[in-house]
Amino acid sequence: MTQKNIREIENVHNSMQGLLKHVGSKYPERKWMYEPAAKYFELLYEDLVQNKPVAWYFFLLTPELFRAMDIAPFSGEYAGSVISSFPEGIIKYMELAEQHVPDSLCAINKYTLAAALSGDFPYPDMLIHIAAHPCDSASIVYPVLAEYLGVPQFCLDTPYLDDEKSHRYFASQFSKLISFLEEQTNQKLDFDRLRQVVEYSNQAQEYVLKANELRKEVPCPISSRSSATAAGAILGLAGTPFLVDWYKKQYEMALERVQRNEGALPEEKLRVAMIWSSTFFDLGVLEWMEREYGAVVVMDLLNLWINEPIEDTSSLSKIVHGLASKTLKAPMGRHGRGPVDTLLEEVVGICRDYKADVAIFAGHVGCKYGWASAKLLKDAIKEEVGIPTLFFDFDAYDPRVASSETIKAKIEQFFDTYL
């Protein structure tokens, strides 16, 4: 293990801390929006300074195991989502990747490749990824990186179905992953440390589930921005006490609003179900919807974490089974793996249970399996719930495909027609 190049992570860490300080002094009521991303890069930077082994991992594999084993967890997908919102965004990395791979590859996959090609990020000691969870584009990136960088990799083989037999099989893959991590780090997994990490993860998930229930209230007590922020927080910070405290505050603020019969907006006019992606390069689009139309996102498909906390943490086998099930049930992952019925049923359920007035399919151009399902989704929502759906294509991370103003114009025309 050699000293890592941490220049870019240090830059992002410093930028996030500066942003927190600025927002905290000028707009303290908005500070919560930036705290999870800032904490992720703070913890990553600290791990790198201590020269801990680095694992690059696919973002739907939440980081409890890595945190329990003192491995620095770097997710190019999560990091790219955050950095895409910076003024300079991730365009230079897109341009670098596009010299080597087709333009049609998902932008976040291109970013992960470019992170290695650029040399700006700490090279991994190991790569961890998941087969067909959720798409072929995501699956192919990590084997290519492993060959290019010459580092060991581990791929968890995902089952097609979602029954108990499939969960047991995937748990066996997690057991093999633990052996791989022990071999690469020359240390044994500390069970007590893992149990503590999982307990933090459990506590946070309890608040996630309770907050999801509160989103069903009319008016909705939780803002659109919170939904997008929370999804990333879970992916990057699962297993940390920070996530417990942050989500507890979000839940308690929402509960107080419900008790006062108040919503997140002064006047709620439209309840929106986001049934695919979100505008990660500019989450201000969601706030514009709230401000101009009184339209609040009541649920975002990418934030629909449905897994129950791991009930029994008394043994390694039970914890492993719980972590495996959590991964299989991760949003996006469970929707792109297996029969399309899972996606259709959950989208219809979101629109119905969260009392949506409209649905928005913000179709990320790199999500081929998403666009393959678009017509089925539209028909199912119309037939089962009877609400209209807006479809448009864009890149969730790259404004060159469709700018914020272009996206706003499409939403504006749709809302004006509906209202």
pLDDT at 132: 82
pLDDT at 126: 97
Helix (H, G, I), strand (E, B) or coil at 127: strand
Please check whether residue 166 is in contact with residue 328, taking contact to mean a CB–CB distance below 8 angstroms: yes
Taking the C-alpha atoms of residue 280 and residue 38, their distance in angstroms, rounded to an integer, is 16
Pairing of strands 126-130, 153-156: parallel
The CATH code of the domain at 7-187 is 3.40.50.11890
Q: Encoding tokens for residue 255? A: 């509960």
Domain spans of the chain, in order of start: 7-187
pLDDT in tens, 230-252: 888 999 999 999 999 999 999 99
Helix (H, G, I), strand (E, B) or coil at 266: coil
Q: Encoding tokens for residue 5? A: 């190049």
Spatial CA neighbour of 31 closest among 45, 11, 17, 44 = 17
What residues contact 53, with CB distance under 8 A and at least 6 apart?
1, 70, 71, 72, 125, 126, 184, 185
pLDDT in tens, 361-381: 999 998 888 899 999 999 999
Cβ density class 350-367: b for 16+ within 10 Å, e for less: bbebbbbbbbbbbbbbbb
Is the pLDDT assigned to residue 129 strictly greater than 80?
A: yes
What residues contact 3, with CB distance under 8 A and at least 6 apart?
51
pLDDT in tens, 338-365: 899 999 999 999 999 999 999 999 999 9
pLDDT at 4: 66
**Who has greater pLDDT, 132 or 269?**
269
pLDDT at 413: 95
Q: Identify the DSSP state of 92.
A: H
Summary mean pLDDT of the chain: 94
Model pTM above 0.75: yes
Taking the C-alpha atoms of residue 302 and residue 293, their distance in angstroms, rounded to an integer, is 23
pLDDT at 227: 81
Q: Which amino acid is at 23?
A: V
Percent of the chain clearing pLDDT 70 (strictly above): 99
**Per-residue CA distances from 122 to 15, 36, 111, 376, 401 (Å):** 18, 21, 14, 42, 29
* Size of the chain, expressed as the number of residues it contains: 419
Q: Encoding tokens for residue 138? A: 């995501």
Contacts 24+ apart (CB under 8 A), 133-136: 133/58, 133/60, 133/158, 133/327, 133/328, 133/333, 133/336, 133/337, 134/60, 134/332, 134/333, 134/335, 134/336, 134/337, 134/369, 135/106, 135/336, 135/367, 135/368, 135/369, 136/368
Please check whether residue 276 is in contact with residue 364, taking contact to mean a CB–CB distance below 8 angstroms: yes
Q: Encoding tokens for residue 257? A: 């609003």
Return the number of other C-beta atoms located less than 10 Å from residue 322's C-beta.
24
